[in-house]
A and B are shown apart, each in its own frame.
Chain A
Amino acid sequence: MRLEPRAHVPFWLNVTAPLGAIALAFAFCALLILWAGAPIVPAYTALLKGAFGSTFALTETLTRAAPLIFTGLAAAVAFRAKLWNIGGEGQLYAGALAATYFGTGLITLPPLLMIPLLFLVGAIAGGLLLLVPVILKLKLRVDEVVTTLLLNFVVLLFANYLLFGPWKDPLAMGWPQAAPIIDEGILEPLVPRMRLHQGFLWAIAFAVFAWAFIRFSKWGFQIRAVGHNPEAASFAGVPIGATVLRTALLSGGLAGMAGVCELAGLKGYLTLDISPGFGYTGIAVAMLAGLHPLGVIASAIFIAAIYNGADAMSRAMSISNYLADVLTATALLLVLASVLFVRFRPRLR
């Protein structure tokens, strides 16, 4: 087989290539399921049911997808500008810290204002946090992969200090957790008696916003230009520094909102386990979506479904739920490989 570059990429290919790759990932993991000693069809049925098979399963999947949409968008926006923000996890916690600071009684407003305020302060905290490594990158050429990654631990340890020290809720029976968010700041459930909350709608709204911003705004255009060819963009008068700073604020802000979403939507108070690595998984979400903001919605739901479904499958078939990790990793690798077939035409000789 040979590969030839395509002059035009048909739209259908952009959609079917990743779907095909995902199907292939399922086929590959079927072998692992067999190896683990479970029948394939019932196993995958259990997975599907666990992800979407009931109101509970579906809402749980979407609940889990909400923060992933935010962190996925954060990575997608930054990667578009070739800004390698690996610090989504730290920015998520920064957002949660800010929301805790403002949302636990410092300010009381009606919910209609309180919730946007919490998202705003969370976004500002996440954005400012990313500004630090980005300024270092612009001024001193410090590699942002290293600095953003390491900042994750700095923020996490700082949160640790606050929760064991000054912010520890005296009413929490000694648990390291902060005081709860006031009722006005809580994201209400969307479905009665389920955990799915308004944060999911916020996530969808911001995905649409990020898409429109990248696609239709001048700044979004400049972000794309700088990402593809900084030299040409700079020569044409696009301010590189300002564009990268804007990207950082947007990316960090989106990750910060993931923290607010989890804090005000699920637990209601800050603990050190509000994120099981959403910041890192966001990178996989973004890559799986081909850095497309609307694709991020689908890929976040997909990854959330795999994890939820794998838990159900693991219970039903008594095989390890690590299969979720294998499945997402294989899907990601195959989707990245499928990009090759989107850009090039395979030909049988």
Chain B
Amino acid sequence: MPEVDEPARAGAETVLRLAGVTKRFGGLTANDAISLELKSGEILALLGENGAGKTTLMSILFGHYVADEGHIEAFGKRLPAGSPKAAIAAGIGMVHQHFTLGENLSVLDNILLGTESLFAPRQNTAKARKRIAELAEHFGLAVDPKKLVSDLSVGERQRVEILKALYRGARVLILDEPTAVLAPQEVETLFKTLKTMVAEGLSIIFISHKLNEVMAVADRVAVLRLGKLVAEFPIAEASKESLAEAMVGRAIEMPTREPQPLGPVVLQLAGVTVAGEHGKPLLDELHLLLCGREILGIAGVSGNGQGALAALLSGLRLPDEGTFEILGEPVKTTSPAEMLRRGIGRIPEDRHATGVVGDLSVEENLILEAAGSPRFCNLGLLKGRVVRRNAKDMIERFDIRGADPTTTTRALSGGNMQKVILARVLSEQPKVILANQPTRGLDVGAAAKVQELLFEARAEGAGIILISEDLEELLQVSDRIAVLYQGRLSTPVAVENADLKILGLLMSGHGEFEQQKGARGHAA
């Protein structure tokens, strides 16, 4: 067994070896004879679309699944299959995409959970606390160990997960889509931490489908497609284009924005204020004008009023002050059903929690909003055949993969789940569309499809509010861009005139947020 405690040098020893790992689920081969090596002191990016088999592979590595063929060696020793305990003992730590923390416990308790004997009369917390503080300081993972996890932000929770792995002596850390939930600044901090770790000789497997991030942080990249390892090269030899092509298996065409003549005004917010807790408004005298056939991109770090703006348009609350007009008619009462009646299509931020009912079938989720309409319902009874036909049409039209009408929606991948939501929303031909983070967590192919669908809706006359944290996406998709900062909206600028640097400054609160009533900012 090689020495693992010795500080890593360049070209150091192999810490992890996957040999011919194959895993089948029924007829589907999720992993097809995958062989990979991880050296100490490196960050290996595992790149692939949703459903390419990344998470399955890592679940096998961590012992959640048992491979049908092949085996895994950690530090030269063969890892017993199917035992997370053995994986932990071998120094493998995993940070799942969906965190596995007890919300009602403190940070300290979460980290200690499972590391101490169940029958110990008393936890030896003093020593543990010291060790955690050391780890936290060393790797820049600041969290207060006394805080309850339910009070932590997503970024902090992730740090707790990493600390948990480190506390258990992890030498190999697997991070499953770690940036999916983080704001841009938090991503920066995370990357810094990761670099510190590998400098210490730890090794990291970084699962992602975001090319930028892979290019920024990885030393080496392995690309999975449809369960197969299709490419593996040092990052120096990779380019975004080559990675994207390897990942999707074809050159990806990102949809392009065709110029469109503006339609009439479909949505107007004037001086809209939404009160928050502690006297600080969530939206502060917001002015916004949206026309048909345009996409207004709302940039900004999350937590700056995006939630309140989305809640207004979703029918979850009314403004406390100011006027709110849809298609020229003022909104006085609100509810989700009311917004649907007025022709607003809403794509919620959280697909799983608010977008779909995971335990219902695809066909049922597709009619969730329109179940009462005469199209699907007669005398209180659902028209089963129409519902089925509708689902078949939608699955084809919106390219929802891996689904037949009766598939449980929970079983779909994120991208296809999002397509179910888009199908439900867009098939009603809404006049105004709220798209809140519609591509977050989606792979390139699925994101391109979502954007294409938004463009189609725009071409049919809809005005679209696109809330996103991804500036690149906003610049590519929007007609105009405005920045939301502490509840105030900057004057929208046409995307042709948008300057990345100025947008960045606005996002951190530097710049003009004063607005005149009716400020349009429309490009001619």
Interface positions of A (Cβ within 8 A of B): 2, 4, 7-8, 216-219, 221-222, 224-225, 228-229, 231-239, 347, 349
Contacts and interface: CB of A to CB of B under 8 A. Distances in A.
A217 B25 contact: no
Given A232-B353, A234-B336, A224 B360 contact: yes
B452 interface: no
Given A7-B26, A349-B81, A222 B357 contact: no
Name the residue among B66, B339, B355, B357 with the largest chain A CB count within 10 angstroms: B357
Contacts, number: 80
A237 B25 CA distance: 37
A8 B27 CA distance: 12
B82 interface: yes
Name the residue among A7, A216, A233 with the largest chain B CB count within 10 angstroms: A7
A218 B380 contact: yes
Interface of B: 25-26, 65-66, 81-82, 314-316, 335-337, 339-340, 346, 348, 353-360, 364, 368-369, 371-372, 377, 380-382, 384, 407, 411, 424
B335 A7 contact: no
A219 B407 CA distance: 22
Nearest to B339: A237
B331 to A, nearest CB: 15
Contacts of A228: 357-360
A347 B66 contact: yes
Contacts of A222: 371
Contact of A349 (B82, B355, B358, B369): B82
Given A228-B358, A229-B358, A232-B353, A237 B369 contact: yes
A238 to B, nearest CB: 7
Given A218-B381, A229-B356, A349-B82, 13 more contacts: A216-B381, A217-B380, A219-B380, A231-B354, A232-B357, A233-B357, A233-B368, A234-B336, A236-B336, A236-B369, A237-B369, A239-B337, A347-B66
Contacts of A221: 364, 371, 382
Contact of A218 (B66, B81, B377): B377
29 contacts: A4-B65, A7-B25, A7-B411, A216-B382, A217-B380, A217-B382, A218-B372, A218-B377, A218-B381, A218-B382, A219-B380, A225-B364, A228-B357, A228-B359, A228-B360, A229-B357, A229-B358, A231-B354, A232-B353, A232-B354, A232-B368, A235-B336, A235-B354, A236-B424, A237-B339, A237-B369, A238-B368, A238-B371, A347-B66
Nearest to A212: B381
A232 to B, nearest CB: 5
B378 to A, nearest CB: 9
Nearest to B364: A221
Contacts of B340: 237
Contacts of B424: 236
A232 B355 contact: yes
A200 to B, nearest CB: 27
A217 B384 CA distance: 10
Nearest to A219: B380
A231 B82 CA distance: 36
Contact of B335 (A4, A8, A237, A347): A237
Contacts of B353: 229, 231-232
Contact of A225 (B315, B316, B348, B357): B357
Nearest to A5: B411
A68 B249 CA distance: 59
Q: Report whether over half of chain B's contact residues are helix, strand or loop; otherwise say mixed.
A: loop
Contacts of B355: 232, 235
B360 A2 contact: no
B381 A235 contact: no
Contact of B66 (A2, A7, A225, A235): A2
A217 B371 CA distance: 10
A237 B382 contact: no
B360 A235 contact: no
A349 B65 CA distance: 10
Contacts of A7: 25-26, 411
B66 A349 contact: yes
A2 B63 CA distance: 10
Name the residue among B25, B66, B359, B360 with the largest chain A CB count within 10 angstroms: B360
Nearest to A1: B82
A236 B368 contact: yes
A7 B355 CA distance: 20
A218 B348 CA distance: 23
Contact of B368 (A2, A217, A225, A239): A225
Contacts of B335: 237, 239
Nearest to B411: A7
A54 to B, nearest CB: 43
Contacts of B82: 2, 349
B381 A232 contact: no
A40 B135 CA distance: 63
Contacts of A8: 407, 411
A97 B369 CA distance: 41
Contacts of A234: 336
B480 to A, nearest CB: 27
A17 B380 CA distance: 34
Given A235-B346, A236-B368, A237-B369, A225 B360 contact: yes
B45 to A, nearest CB: 27
Contacts of B315: 237
Contacts of B368: 225, 232-233, 236-238
A347 B81 CA distance: 13
B25 A218 contact: no
Contacts of A216: 381-382, 384
A39 B83 CA distance: 44
B364 A232 contact: no
A246 to B, nearest CB: 11
B315 to A, nearest CB: 8
A238 B357 CA distance: 12
A219 B354 CA distance: 20
Contacts of B65: 2, 4
A216 B376 CA distance: 11
